[in-house]
Chains A and B, each alone.
Chain A
Amino acid sequence: MTCHFQRKAKGGAAILGGSLALSLLASASMAADPIRIGVLEDQSGEFAAATIQKVHGAQLAAEEINEAGGIMGRPVELVIYDPQSDNRRYQELMRRMLQRDNVDVVFAGFSSASREAVRPIVNQMDALYFYTNQYEGGVCDANVVATGAVPEQQFSTLVPWMMETYGKRVYTIAADYNFGQISAEWVRQIVEENGGEMVGEEFIPLGVSQFSQTIQNIQAAQPDVLMTLLVGTAQASFYEQAAAADLGIPMGSSVNVAQGYEHRRFDPPALEGMHVTANYIEEVDTPASRDFVARWRAMFPDEVYINQPGQNSYVGIHLYKAAVERAGSTEKAAVREAIQSGEVCVDAPEGQVCIDPKSQHASHTIYLVQVGADHEISIPKVWEGIEPYWLGEAGCDLTQRDHDAQYTPSSPPAQN
């Protein structure tokens, strides 16, 4: 116990020194000290359907890395816990990982609520945290590398395309927490910038599963485009109920299909007319994607669907590897310095992904995913290499100053 706290107190250098000494002691006869990666992803509870793949993606990446000789000769060891879609468990387990398990980096969280629940703990312990999910954007935090797609990648592409294709009257229904509220703000702003009109907006508490009245409210407003920013399995019931009532309005989303594979879970034509801008789904038909799907299915033959969170988790671990190898160390300061070179990139199944030095967010290839009447997938448009520019332009510059806040279009960083 005392030994443990001493190590903690002396910080990263002591740990590094300790591991160096250990590997010297072990000499050539034993394997090098492993790099411990904490994986805190829901394997049960409200979000499990979309997040079990995040665990599998991490396991696939770890196995591949270990087969190829590890990171700088050190094997990767995953420390996996199930926070059960419960934010309090996220906090308990995050403390446990950072204090007791001494992991080098944590990969954690599906919902923005869970991310915001653990971020203060990560900052308090001064740890390195990869958040790999697509989200509403705006987290500018020295300890956070956010590798999922953000609004300038998902909404700046999707919303103008939808308005051009279907019309300018837009209605938004969104999950009522930080993800839905901030995403809806983005939609509102982009619609207004493009000369469109918001004809309605409704925020729905998580866990609501009955939507008759919402469907009627939407019909009363007669929108051309319906943006659905619904989250979780209960809210996904909306699509079946909207189809049964023959709503028939083209839908756009940043989360559906790519996360909860609703097009596979629901009977056609519940998801007909859905459009999603995703940085990956299983149906992406490129050599890199096909190869990835084959390797994944070889390791997890029963996987129901390889979704965007699964790919992101896989890519996140490879990005971490690239950063550590460039840094020559797992120490946070060195890894951040490597990221600030702007040259931490990997060739992901989706295409090339690089980490932006200013915001520590990732560039992405964005696929416009369209769902047909039989739930067949088509990809009418691809945007390659979209940078996560908004935070940097708004004034977040982690190369110059450490922030630890989430910003929104209506509350950008203070300029100085």
Chain B
Amino acid sequence: MLQEVFAFLYQFGDAFAFLVLSAAGLAIIFGMMGIINLAHGEFIMCGAYVTVIMARLGLPLPLAILCGALAAGLAGILVERLIIHRLYHRPLDSIVATWGISLIVTQTVLILLGSTMPGIGTPLDSFSIGAFSYSEYRLVLMAVAVLLLIALYLLFNVTRFGLLARATIQKPQMAQALGVRTSRVYSLTFGLGAALAGLAGGLYAPTMTLVPTMGVTFIVESFVTVVVGGADVFLGTAPAAAVLALIKAVMTGWQGQLFGQIGLLVTVIIVIRILPRGISGWFLKERT
């Protein structure tokens, strides 16, 4: 009995970590800035590639992952400065522009680095409980997902950057009038979103095949989580990831991967129908 309970919790945690990590960056860029970032998967791929290259150069894996996140974050700031900052309040144009970026990046990586790169093995060991054996690294991923949510909460609610970011996003003109350099805040926020995507890529790089299109495998889960969650990262993404992870773990354990995916998509359809602004939209309406 105990081993079944643990098995279920592990699967729930595994799905939760994947949803939170793949969606956090997207949630910040979409939720706070209103940009629908179709290049999200490419920031993830950037993080993964940089992580693997640094690890192969001999850097310890945690540092390599930080490098991956940093590289994706810098790439994000660059993209925001060059392209995205012209597209605020034009969400449909932002879709086309980021889609274009995504295509260009994927093909460029294919041309420069080839169709695939050798991976680095998953670190840490495995452990068994009863009939089942598990990867320890997956526990690290779960812990990082929870710590990331706490860190983001503190960043936006305790620090000065968080205060300026919230002010800029809620009332940009007023913030600017009060002396906030809003364009810099936008750049940093976009960079933060991209860095979180890079972090997800770096964390999952040791467990996956490295190809230029690898970001695509995160896209469905991350968009589903953000759509179900709504605009707020804490009131939306976290509870959405919890609900979706529960559905995914139950459905996949019951009938396999296909049903897990069906479960996610049906949930999105239902949520959009009854809560058009996602879980956080419902929370915030309740509050006011």
Question: Known contacts A205-B258, A205-B261, A233-B116: does B122 contact A216 (CB below 8 Å)?
Answer: no
Q: Which residue of A lies closest to B13 (CB)?
A: A212
Residues of A within 8 A of B14 (CB): 210, 212-213
Q: Which of A222, A246, A270 contacts B128 (CB 8 A)?
A: A246
Residues of A within 8 A of B107 (CB): 44
Interface residues on B, range: 35 or more
Residues of B within 8 A of A214 (CB): 252, 256-257
Q: Which residue of A lies closest to B253 (CB)?
A: A213
Q: Is the CB of B62 closer than 8 A to any CB of chain A?
A: no
Q: Is the CB of A331 closer than 8 A to any CB of chain B?
A: no
CA distance A204 to B217 in the complex (A): 13
Q: Is the CB of B138 closer than 8 A to any CB of chain A?
A: yes
Q: Which of A222, A234, A236 contacts B131 (CB 8 A)?
A: A222
CA distance A48 to B115 in the complex (A): 6
Per-position 1/0 for A39-62, Cβ under 8 A of B: 000011110110010000000000
Q: Is the CB of B135 closer than 8 A to any CB of chain A?
A: yes
Q: Is the CB of B10 within 8 A of A212?
A: yes
Q: Is the CB of A16 closer than 8 A to any CB of chain B?
A: no
Per-position 1/0 for A204-218, Cβ under 8 A of B: 110111111110110
Q: Is the CB of B229 closer than 8 A to any CB of chain A?
A: no
Q: Which of B110, B124, B216, B257 contacts A204 (CB 8 A)?
A: B257
Residues of A within 8 A of B260 (CB): 213
Q: Is the CB of B207 within 8 A of A244?
A: yes
Residues of B within 8 A of A208 (CB): 217, 257, 261
Closest beta carbon of chain B to A338's beta carbon, Å: 36
Q: Is the CB of B120 closer than 8 A to any CB of chain A?
A: yes
Residues of A within 8 A of B15 (CB): 210, 212-213
CA distance A391 to B116 in the complex (A): 36
Question: Known contacts A208-B261, A245-B133, A267-B121: does B256 contact A233 (CB below 8 Å)?
Answer: no
CA distance A138 to B1 in the complex (A): 46
Question: Known contacts A48-B211, A268-B121: does B257 contact A213 (CB below 8 Å)?
Answer: yes
Question: Known contacts A265-B116, A266-B121: does B132 contact A216 (CB below 8 Å)?
Answer: yes
Per-position 1/0 for A173-212, Cβ under 8 A of B: 0001000000000000000000000000011110111111
CA distance A278 to B98 in the complex (A): 42
Closest beta carbon of chain A to B95's beta carbon, Å: 20
Per-position 1/0 for B181-220, Cβ under 8 A of A: 0000000000000000000000000111111111011001
Q: Which residue of A lies closest to B132 (CB)?
A: A219
Q: Is the CB of B134 closer than 8 A to any CB of chain A?
A: yes
Q: Which of B18, B117, B206, B258 contacts A210 (CB 8 A)?
A: B18
* Interface set, chain B 225-257, CB cutoff 8 A to A: 248-249, 252-253, 256-257
Residues of B within 8 A of A217 (CB): 253, 256
Q: Is the CB of A293 closer than 8 A to any CB of chain B?
A: no
Q: Which of B134, B206, B216 contacts A207 (CB 8 A)?
A: B216
Question: Known contacts A205-B261, A213-B249, A234-B209: does B116 contact A240 (CB below 8 Å)?
Answer: no
Per-position 1/0 for A226-247, Cβ under 8 A of B: 0000000110110011011111
CA distance A247 to B14 in the complex (A): 17
Closest beta carbon of chain A to B139's beta carbon, Å: 11
Most buried by B among A176, A202, A207, A240: A240
Q: Give 6 CB contacts A-B under 8 Å.
A: A44-B115, A237-B208, A240-B119, A241-B122, A245-B133, A266-B121
